[in-house]
Amino acid sequence: MGFGITELIICLVIVLIVFGAGKLPQIGDALGRSIKNFKRAAAGNDEIEVSPKKREISAESKSPLDVESK
């Protein structure tokens, strides 16, 4: 027996409640990189990506504590 559509929907709702909608893209990105690195390591390639991608921070998203005083 496998998972049916009802079980998958219940799992997705639980994950959404636990992690929230804002974290799901980050979790998906980390899971994708993990799978890619696992496949690369299984193939025998020694180069594995471990550092996260750098993100640009816009001026609007900075908190008041990040603003430098003149």
**Per residue in 43-63, pLDDT tens?**
876 666 667 666 655 555 555
**Per residue in 5-52, pLDDT tens?**
999 899 989 989 998 888 888 988 999 999 998 888 888 766 666 676
Of 35, 34, 36, 12, the residue nearest 24 (C-alpha):
12
Cβ-Cβ contacts under 8 Å for 19 (sequence gap 6 or more): 27
Three-class DSSP labels, the chain: CCCCHHHHHHHHHHHHHHHCCCCHHHHHHHHHHHHHHHHHHHCCCCCCCCCCCCCCCCCCCCCHHHCCCC
Q: What is the pLDDT of the chain when averaged over all its residues?
A: 77
User: Residue 3: pLDDT above 60?
Assistant: yes
